[in-house]
Amino acid sequence: MTPSSQVLEPPGNSVRFNQEFGPDFRGDELPGELALREKRLKVIRDAKKRLEDRKAQEAREEDERKARRAKEEGREPPKERPELRKHPKGEPKPKDQENFTDPDSRIMKDGSGAFQQSYNAHIAVDESEHIIVGALVTNTAADVGELMPLIDAAETAAATRTRPTAWATSRRRSTPRACATSS
């Protein structure tokens, strides 16, 4: 075997080279296990950044909500006392989590008491036709404040301006509770 027969030709010039290494091989790629590690670290860094940004945004919204409520009640907004905090405001707590594949979802307790990565969905159904006339999906576990936006969505979808009769039910330890509103 001559030395020239052992040397592979540069990419694109050789069928043998492309068969052995593939047409996209440059020669400077990271080994597979390192490339996967780098990709995983980037995904983790991105998720951490999203979590930090979300917590900072939630802290700003909470401050605005408190200031607005204080103004409506004609009083001064509460003063910040960082020395009394167990954890710095606007930063993720050690147990806070961010989902890598679906960052908009949140961890919520399901009907069996287990915790799942979830959304909270609500529907409005036409009583006579039995069809869905409105839907609302949130990433908040609490249902507080979701009834009126759902009714508004149903009205918009039905193109009606009359306030329909609405039933809201809640299950807690198999004890159903209901409240009704009507125009």
Q: Which is more confidently placed, 167 or 61?
A: 61
- pLDDT above 90 coverage of the chain, percent: 9
Listed by start position, the domains of the chain span 32-84, 121-181
Q: What's the average model confidence in pLDDT over 17-22?
A: 72
Strands 166-172 and 175-181, bridge-based pairing: antiparallel
Quote the DSSP letter at residue 24: T
* DSSP class per residue in 32-100: HHHHHHHHHHHHHHHHHHHHHHHHHHHHHHHHHHHHHHHHHTTSPPPPP-GGG-SS-TTS--TT----S
Contact, 63 vs 55, CB < 8 A? no
Residue-wise pLDDT for 166-175, tens only, equals 566 554 433 3
pLDDT value of position 141 = 85
For 124, counting Cβ atoms within 10 Å of its Cβ (0-12 exposed, 13-18 middle, 19+ buried), the class is: buried
Lookup: tokens for 3 = 């030395």
170 half-sphere exposure, CB direction, 13 A CA radius: 11
Q: What's the average model confidence in pLDDT over 140-147?
A: 85
pTM of the full structure: 0.54
pLDDT bracket for residue 30 (50, 70, 90): low
Cα-Cα-Cα-Cα dihedral sign, residues 62, 65, 71, 74: negative
Q: Which is more confidently placed, 20 or 168?
A: 20
Report how far Cα 49 is from the mean position of its chain's Cα atoms.
14
Q: Which residue has the tokens 């509103």?
A: 181
pLDDT value of position 182 = 46
